[in-house]
Structure 1
Amino acid sequence: MAFTFLGCQENTYEFGSIVAPSNITVTAEIVGADATNPNGDGSGTVNFVATADNATSYTFYYDGIGKTSPAGNATFNFSIIGLNTYTVNVVASGTGGVTSSKVIQVDVLSTYSAPADLITMLTNDSTQEWRVKSEDPGHFGVGPADEVSPIWYAAAPGEKSITGMYDDAYVFNVDGTIKYITNSTNDDPATDVSGTIFGQAPPMDQELGVNGSVANPGNEYENYPLDDFDGIWTLTAPNDQETITLSGNGFFGFYVGGDHTYKIITRSATEMMLKTIGADGLAWFVVLTNQEPANNNLVTQYTNLVWEDDFNTDGAPNAANWTYDLGAGGWGNGELQTYTNNAENVIVEGGLLKIIAKANGGGYTSARLKSEGLQEFTYGRYEIRAKLPASEGTWPAIWMLGSNFSQVSWPAAGEIDIMEQTGSDKNQVLSTLHYPGNFGGGGPSEKTTVTTSTTEFHNYTVEWSATKIQFAVDDVVFHTFTNDSTLPFNADFFFILNVAMGGTLGGTVDPAFTEDMMEIDYVKVFQ
């Protein structure tokens, strides 16, 4: 094996606390090298170790790839087929930012040729876009360095949706180049290169630069601003382990620094699990896919059940969860019913909450339950499983009001209509938001078709965060609204469950109406 050293060391000097590194030494271990194979076993893997006096960190540079290590260790996987000479520049950093450097040249044999199916998987033999498979459990996680799965922590589906991770894309090209798109939702990445990423603050500060971003309690940067950028990818297989090495600051999913090398733990034609060792010495895992998310399925970040009422105790609804609005007067919508708390209008029976609207001597009675002052929440996933009344003129509603309603009134408190249905169209449901400037008939609203809404139970869901509110039926999203700090949807809200008669959405009541009901199997809150 052959090594060549070229020194470019600065003179040692001191000025206050500024001390330049000196006496730099660099060693290179070519994996598999022995007397018979002095240039290695053909894997192309070389482990470098640097030491110096007064050094606080080391950066190893090769062909645009910079790997920083406070301990002075770095591994490169050289992939040019045959015996080649590679030049690595090692920069030792001292106090005050003063540096010294040494260049090492190493002769390495690489015999690895990536299998055709791996190249096809990554590039589609031309170009292929990949993304984090956020809809799967365990799509991101961490474990010990010697593990092949994230045994310490594995993210739930959609758990990191507000961090800047899920809108990133990675475009592999068959010529060995890769494009990192830090916001794939931009209208045209060619003209709008702005975006954000998610990662650990220490390696991002060191490798990407301090930019004023504020770390979260886990010392991570969420939505760290970073424009799209380009790099190089190479494939090697040290110890028969297929490995992707990225140039420069290339990364997948979560920025952890380290050597920017990713082992392919598992792969198929459409997805792969990758493992990298971060600057913290831990194994970080990410699952990538080249497929689009299926059919607007809800990807939730909220998986911890914090409250539920499953209506399993017969009788009146649980007084710890529910109280009532009572009386008549139209309720601001020209409604025809009088709300009561009588058992003939509201009862828990057979594992179901039943809200029963009844004709009553020329008028109507019904019930309107609310959790005001009892069960109130900010953000989360709210799931209600219900079957709706079929009669013309009934107006079932599952909705929420801001808990400061009694102080600021409506619409300042905000209103989240999880599900409403008109009295004339029992094949559709709608969701709407009301707030200052968007109330009455003017709030943002969307409809979706549910042809069995009155004959079968369905899950009506709102996923509510500081940045987004999504409405779904049976976990299929049909309405998405952008939330921000100027809107009232950033404080506690309470539930309201009711069946109205007539009014603005109920319309004309069937003259033959006698009674009908909305049945609710459960109300659940996940955070």
Structure 2
Amino acid sequence: MKYFKIIFSLLAIALLFSSCQDDDLGLDTILVPSNLQVTTEISDDGSGEVSFQASANDALSYKYIYSDGTSAVSLGGDITKRFTSVGLNTYLVTVVAYGKGGVSSSKSIEVEVRSDFNDPETKQLLTGGSSKTWYIASAVPGHLGVGQNVNDDGPIVDGGGFFSGPPNFGPECFYDDEMTFSLNENDGILYEYKNFGVTFFNWQFTLQFGGNGEEFVDECLDFTSTETVPLSLVPASSGIDEQRSTGTVLSIADDGFISYYIGQSQYEVLSITENKMSLRAVQGNDNFLVWYLILTTSPDGTVGDGGEEEEAFVSEFTNLVFSDEFDGDDLDTDIWNYEIGNGTNGWGNGEAQFYTEDNVKVQDGNLVITARREAESGFDFTSGRITTQDNYDFTFGRVEARAKLPEGGGTWPAIWMLGANFDVVGWPETGEIDIMEWIGNNPDEISSALHFPGNSGGNPVYGTTPVQNATSVFHTYAVEWTQDNIIFLLDGDEFFTFTNDASLPFNKDFFLIMNVAMGGVFGGDIDLAFQESSMEVDYIRVYQ
């Protein structure tokens, strides 16, 4: 985290200044650390744990940089790291030894580590299968509590033995926090802590962050941290009562934390449901104290009536009949067609792009459709659009697409369907089902819509829902289409239902379309700074 880097830098500067003042040493006494040696002890129990020991002549501190994207600092050179990718994996580890004046030397080694741990149920509940934001359950008794760090003294449930906070007792900065857990393209977990500039600090840590350091006076301090850091699901090494715990620990990299700062990055998951999570964490500078947190998915701090959860949506379609996982190196043209050009009047929407084949790629397991600012055939932008017209169409079923969206004002990605008789009857008579539309000028919302005679163009029947991190993590966009209803879902949650009937054009074959438009009547003004951005699609599937 940034604040630890600052502390370390200040420490190094202080040591340098101290040397200059006390001994009046010259530059010739600033020695590059030499003879850097790194030894390891690799666990063979499947925990993924590796102990490192580094030593070097004239070194003041050491930094470990791991190929999983994390790093850590050790003053003495000893550190233990838990690698969490399941299976036997090889990691590159670079150790940097720092001497006086910030001079350094480095050494890289590889370690082969096995991790057998996996907890798909917790991962699913934590992220909702894609991305989920949690808040402090301010309306719940015991949403912050503290007790002794022993399993037989004080409850290992909501609240602790010494103090159990009543509803809404804490400061506003505590209850504004947003903690988002998301799956990345490798099915790993990302954690983003959004605190709007201030964080609730335990009093024992306030002095080092500009607070008063007074006993029992917790403070909200200026602190900005909206960076995304990797998160691991790992088994706790000790101290778990498995009768009152899931046995899983959230271990946040780079000294990250969850909302209330206690100098700790590991949180034992006591329990987790769709909308409530109870956590336990030992205070970083006091092994006697353990803190309890309750989180909820409700921004108002509640967990529903009596803690009951909403019933999850259950699809009636379970038979996979079509899919493209985009695992090859090229687009499958037996399924997909490229659409080229700008259509008539920007495909009827005043769109600013010219579609080409070059803007569509399949790479790294994803379909990538890229919009660019570049001149082509009299237009200032290029992009891509593909369809399954005349290759694959179907009537009724569930369509799912897992996608990460482009960023930038004026971008307008869409995953949608048109009636297969489009060439015969035209639009809107053929009918249009927009599974997902999103615009970069309104990045916190997606929409789904239906176009048909009487409700088309600027007058469709539509629904919207909030979406978070649409450009940085993959979300699942879906439609459940029957002769009675057309239901739209985001990450498995229903947000818009349309009643279908025999008079509407939604009772016949439709084909699939995916594209990224620029500008137009829906995309709006294009950011002058926009240069290039892509929609990435992990898969698209049809169930019947």
Q: TM-score, normalised by structure 2?
A: 0.42
Q: TM-score, normalised by structure 1?
A: 0.43
Q: Which has the higher helix share?
A: 2
The structure whose Rg is larger is 1
